[in-house]
Amino acid sequence: MSSGFNRSGRGKSKFVLGALVLGCIPLLVSTFAANVTVGTGSLEFGQGSQQATACDSTVYVAMGEEWHASPTAQDSSNGFFRVRAVTVSNLDLTTCAGKKLRVRLIDGNSAEITSGPTPESKVLQITLPDQAPTSNISDPVMLGLSYLTGIGTPISTPLLANVSLSVVGTAVYDGTTLSAANADATFYLDPTAATVNIDGQTVRRTTVETVNNPRA
């Protein structure tokens, strides 16, 4: 027997069902969103990579990290992996002789990351030897290590960084044997880890530039 009460009850049931379905949607969305999160956030992919157009068409970059403890009252094991060094590998020191080599790090917001003691220190630069060396060089003065602003203006500030130009040993990038045509230039941002401590997770892009003008 059909009655107005039954119809009313069916309508009420549909309303409850509809409310339940609508209530589920945010929960489902949040669950799926949480599942696709990797690490500390979304990761970018390498659409921006391109071959070099400078003195060497096949240089590579390798970033070395190390643990930097930063304990808090709540968490004695707190810390992060700081960028210890940036290595430009497979450098041909014959074709790049006398040129300046610049490295900078860029974060996920396309902002240059400070790599020196002052906020405007955005670029690390060395001058490659006029003649390809036969042994490793780790003298920052000999290699003219310096800080530059983002637009390439030299900064006069004490050096916290160090550098090595290696032609003997094993390449950081791929473990091949080093030579003058396959050299490693490694920039150590702050070997003491006292001042320049960049969280490796913030670096999303690196740039390697060579400068032709010896006066630059």
Partner 1 sequence: MFQNPRTKTIAFAIGGLIALTLSASFADELIPQDSVVEAPTAPYEETLTPIVAPEDTSTVLAVVETVTVAETIGNSPIATPRATPQASAQMEEELSESETPTVEILITPQPRLTLHMPPAIGIDPRSRSYLMGSIEFWGTSTYLACFTGSGVALDVGTYGAIDDFESENFIVQGDRSQNLMISGTGAAIKALLRTPGGIRIFNSSAGLSGRTFTLALTALTSASVDQSYCGASRAISTSFFSPLKIDLGIVKGSGTLK
Binding site for partner 1 (CB under 8 A): 6, 9-10, 13, 16-17, 20-21, 23-24, 27-28, 30-31, 34-35, 37-40, 43-55, 59-67, 77, 79, 81, 84, 102, 106, 152, 169-170, 172-175, 200-201, 203-213, 215-216
| Residue closest to 91 by CA, chosen among 202, 172, 192 | 172
Nearer to partner 1, 55 or 196 (CB): 55
Q: CB-wise, 119 or 175, nearer to partner 1? A: 175
Query: Cβ 178 to partner 1, closest distance in Å?
Result: 12
Instruction: Give the nearer residue to partner 1 in terms of CB position, either 62 or 117.
Output: 62
Residue nearer to partner 1 on the CB measure, 63 or 193: 63
49 φ/ψ angles, rounded to the nearest 5 degrees: -75, 145
Query: Nearest distance from residue 116's CB to partner 1, in Å?
Result: 19
DSSP annotation string for 71-139: --SS-TT-EEEEEEEEEEEEE-TTTTTT-EEEEEEEETTSPBPP-SSSTT--EEEEE--SS--SS-B--
Which helix or strand (DSSP H or E) is residue 100 part of?
A: strand 100-107
